[in-house]
Amino acid sequence: MSKPGDFNDLPPEGARKALAGARHFHPDIEDGGRDNGAPHQPCDGVDRPWTDPLDIIGAPEVVGYPTLGADCLPEPLWRYVQSEAQRLNVDSCPLTAHVLAACATVIHGSWRIKPKRHDFWTEPANLWVCVVKDVGTRGTEMIRSAFWPVREADRNHYSDWKREHDAWSQRQAQKAKSEAGEETDPEPVCRRLISNDATVEAASEILKAADEYAKLTLECDELIVFLGSFNRYSANGSSARADWLQAYDGGPHHIDRVRRGHVYVPNWAVTVAGNIQIRRLQGLGKDLIADGLFQRFMTVHTRPPKLGVDDDQPLNPTAREDYGNLLATMATLRLPDRSLADRVAPAWVDEDGHAERRRFMRHLERLQADPTLPTIIRETAPKWSGLLARLSLVFHLVDLAETIRMGGEPATAELLRVPGSVVAMAATFLRRIVLPNLFRLGFETMPEEGQPAAHARWLAGYILAHGLERITARDIGRVYRDLRGKRAEAELAMSVLEDAGWAQRSEVGRADSASWAINPGVHTKFSAAAAIERDRRETVRELIRQKVDM
């Protein structure tokens, strides 16, 4: 039986994918010596069990897209995402990413979580979300569906401010001042929740007049507005990048400029959510990951929409109303206690939550240490210790808000305690949904040339496409030009497939040509996804063949 949080308790789409490509990984050793019931099959005289082949390549046409399950999200979010994904005919995974960013937007800035027992480290509920989309995958509709309650609240804040400011202006016209000559009627400040395009200077102006727990969300239909903005208004974009990096963590921030002088922001905290087309993301190049800024994003790709589906489905008013009320309730939640220093105390994780976190950290360490993985994967993995904490806090507050919305009254102690079940759900969401997308980002969207895992990805697709039972180094050189005459690199690429349970090396055969037997399980495990992709392509061809009558 698998342990809670182990990759073996996941469906095939995400099972143990974090260990994919690990150079020295062997599932039986990692899982305490189990053979997982795999049949022992002779491999050219070497009697070893075939292990369950891992999804090592993040290629949707080979292994399919990750599938959102009810155990990945709090129940009220799950209901809304399923309803809206069906209505819009969109993938529920990127829609979920935007919904989580909307939840993070409304959470009061005082909320933080303390993931460790013996550390002062805390994390806020800020999330950075990047949905990588193809043209026609309805990224705009997904953002609109996720953020409509936030946009509505922002409009209400502006209307209130406009009314107050008009009244203030009339009073100023009458020059109503105190006898001491000091202003007793300060100008009203407009509370802002979102901006669609802001520089560091503009965002700091919005937040400097706010209180110590205010924060801002950059909601970008095209995320290139944010990612491509660092050199747009300044010859030196590095300072802007550094300021945005600080905004990920929140807290007091001092900005000093020659012309503006000193600007003090009580809480420099920003959530970012947006879409970006694959070509635009690829065009940003290696500079995008140079300083760790993009590694802080939770990146999710869209899958192609189902063809031939009516795109005018009716709204589900109940699901929409429940979602709006949920976010409104979340916005009212406040931490109940203050510490001796008169600071708001953070939420904390219980013992079960610490155990879940330890299990998750073990997999992150494997990703970080594996030299065969692309740089962006190895550098993103360490950031997920904080991302796990942030998602756990968001999920916890969703549960609290739903309890209150349904008429319950959580005890004071329950407001601050984040249970292990919530941490486990956040870890499941990261493993099953975000991790396959990170692999796709590293192997397909932003690949590194010459990486062993990139070669392994090509070879895995070739093996599946041709139904191979065996492959040799000579075969690889004949069919794959990038490895022709490069036996050492070919063997390194095949070693990735060995570690992932796709192949076993044999000493039988020519002395000058290494040989590998192929796990027959790969042809059954990944056949369904390949068939789905073939059916989709056939549907496209059929649509093209149809006569267009105007």
pLDDT in tens, 274-294: 999 988 888 887 778 878 889
Instruction: Read off φ and ψ for residue 347, nearest 5 degrees.
Output: -70, 160
Among 453, 450, 476, residue whose Cα is nearest residue 463? 476
Residue 65 included in any domain: no
* Neighbour order of strands in the sheet with 470-472: 470-472, 515-518, 503-506
Among 292, 448, 406, 421, residue whose Cα is nearest residue 352? 421
pLDDT above 90 (res 500): no
Spatial separation of the C-alpha atoms in residues 356 and 115, rounded to whole Å? 11
Between 73 and 39, the more confident residue is 73
CB 485 within 8 A of CB 463: no
Of the residues 445, 468, 491, which one is the last residue of a structural domain?
445
Long-range contacts of 199-203 (CB under 8 A, 24+ apart): 199/229, 199/233, 199/240, 200/239, 200/240, 200/243, 200/244, 200/255, 201/255, 201/257, 201/260, 203/247, 203/270
Residue 550 included in any domain: no
Say what percent of the chain tops pLDDT 70.
79
Residue 290 included in any domain: yes
Q: Name the band, by pLDDT with cuts 50, 70 and 90, for residue 227.
A: confident
Question: By mean pLDDT, which of 98-112, 238-252, 347-361 is the weakest?
Answer: 238-252
Between 228 and 279, the more confident residue is 279
Residue 324 included in any domain: yes
Does residue 415 sit in the same domain as residue 468?
A: no
Does residue 481 sit in the same domain as residue 358?
A: no
Spatial separation of the C-alpha atoms in residues 87 and 142, rounded to whole Å? 11
Sign of the CA dihedral running 71, 76, 79, 81: negative
CB 345 within 8 A of CB 337: yes
For residue range 388-397, what is the model confidence (pLDDT) as tens digits? 999 999 999 9
State whether residue 517 is helix, strand or coil.
Answer: strand
Does residue 433 sit in the same domain as residue 531?
A: no
CB 105 within 8 A of CB 129: no
Of the residues 429, 445, 461, which one is the last residue of a structural domain?
445
pLDDT above 60 (res 475): yes
Residue count (the chain) = 550
Spatial separation of the C-alpha atoms in residues 227 and 236, rounded to whole Å? 14
Among 460, 449, 517, 513, residue whose Cα is nearest residue 482? 449
pLDDT above 80 (res 350): yes
Q: What is the pLDDT of residue 137?
A: 85
DSSP 10: S
Residue 170 included in any domain: no
Does residue 373 sit in the same domain as residue 473?
A: no
Q: Quick one: average pLDDT of 359-379? A: 85
Sign of the CA dihedral running 440, 442, 446, 447: negative
Does residue 374 sit in the same domain as residue 475?
A: no
Q: What is the pLDDT of residue 457?
A: 77
Question: By mean pLDDT, which of 43-52, 110-119, 428-437 is the weakest?
Answer: 43-52
Question: Up-side HSE of residue 2: CA atoms within 13 Å toward CB?
Answer: 17
CB 347 within 8 A of CB 416: yes
- List the beta bridge partners of residue 255: 263
Locate 517 and state its tokens: 């037997």
Q: Quick one: average pLDDT of 448-470? A: 79
Does residue 460 sit in the same domain as residue 385?
A: no
Q: What is the pLDDT of residue 215?
A: 93
Q: What is the pLDDT of residue 338?
A: 58
pLDDT above 50 (res 56): yes
pLDDT above 70 (res 41): no
Mean pLDDT of the chain: 81
Spatial separation of the C-alpha atoms in residues 262 and 353, rounded to whole Å? 42
Q: What is the pLDDT of residue 21?
A: 34
DSSP 265: E
Does residue 97 sit in the same domain as residue 25?
A: no
Does residue 441 sit in the same domain as residue 469?
A: no
Question: By mean pLDDT, which of 83-87, 89-93, 107-111, 410-414 is the weakest?
Answer: 410-414
Q: What is the pLDDT of residue 55?
A: 65
pLDDT above 90 (res 102): yes
Does an H or E element contain 231, and which? none
Spatial separation of the C-alpha atoms in residues 449 and 452, rounded to whole Å? 9
Does residue 348 sit in the same domain as residue 384?
A: yes
Q: Name the band, by pLDDT with cuts 50, 70 and 90, for residue 547.
A: low
Q: Name the band, by pLDDT with cuts 50, 70 and 90, for residue 152.
A: very high
CB 398 within 8 A of CB 103: yes
Between 508 and 448, the more confident residue is 448
For residue range 5-20, what is the model confidence (pLDDT) as tens digits? 333 333 333 333 333 3
Q: What is the pLDDT of residue 43?
A: 45
Question: By mean pLDDT, which of 127-131, 199-203, 341-345, 368-372 is the weakest?
Answer: 341-345
Q: What is the pLDDT of residue 495?
A: 86
Q: What is the pLDDT of residue 140?
A: 92
Span between the terminal Cα atoms of the chain, in Å: 60
Q: What is the pLDDT of residue 143?
A: 96
**Domain with 462 in it: what CATH number?**
1.10.10
Between 209 and 25, the more confident residue is 209
User: For the chain, how are helix, strand and coil distributed in percent, rounded to 5?
Assistant: 50, 10, 35
pLDDT above 70 (res 109): yes
Residue 3 included in any domain: no
Q: What is the pLDDT of residue 97?
A: 97
Q: Kind of pairing, strands 40-43 and 46-49?
A: antiparallel
Between 532 and 135, the more confident residue is 135
Does residue 220 sit in the same domain as residue 362?
A: yes
pLDDT above 70 (res 360): yes
Between 459 and 26, the more confident residue is 459
Q: Quick one: average pLDDT of 436-457? A: 79
Does residue 28 sit in the same domain as residue 80?
A: no
Query: Would you list the DSSP string of 157-189?
Result: HHHHHHHHHHHHHHHHHTT---TTS---SPPP-
CB 64 within 8 A of CB 286: no
Range of the domain at 26: 21-54+449-545
Residue 240 included in any domain: yes
Question: By mean pLDDT, which of 163-172, 307-316, 513-522, 527-536 is the weakest?
Answer: 527-536
Among 521, 377, 358, residue whose Cα is nearest residue 447? 377
Residue 535 included in any domain: yes
CA 144 from chain centre, in angstroms, equals 19
Does an H or E element contain 253, and which? strand 253-257
Q: What is the pLDDT of residue 287?
A: 76
Q: What letter represents residue 543's amino acid?
A: L
* Per-residue b or e along 305-339, where b marks 16 or more CB atoms closer than 10 Å to that residue's CB: beeeeeeeeeebeebbebbbebbebbbebebeeee
Give how many domains the chain has, as a whole number. 2
Q: Name the band, by pLDDT with cuts 50, 70 and 90, for residue 205.
A: confident
Spatial separation of the C-alpha atoms in residues 461 and 456, rounded to whole Å? 9
pLDDT above 90 (res 375): no
Of the residues 418, 445, 472, which one is the last residue of a structural domain?
445
Q: How many angstroms separate the Cα of 146 from the Cα of each of 143, 287, 394, 413, 490?
A: 5, 30, 15, 31, 46
Q: Quick one: average pLDDT of 302-323? A: 85
Q: Quick one: average pLDDT of 423-434? A: 95
Spatial separation of the C-alpha atoms in residues 349 and 362, rounded to whole Å? 18
pLDDT above 90 (res 383): yes
**Domain with 294 in it: what CATH number?**
3.40.50
Spatial separation of the C-alpha atoms in residues 12 and 33, rounded to whole Å? 21
- List the beta bridge partners of residue 265: 253
Does residue 453 sit in the same domain as residue 441?
A: no
Among 520, 527, 530, residue whose Cα is nearest residue 38? 520
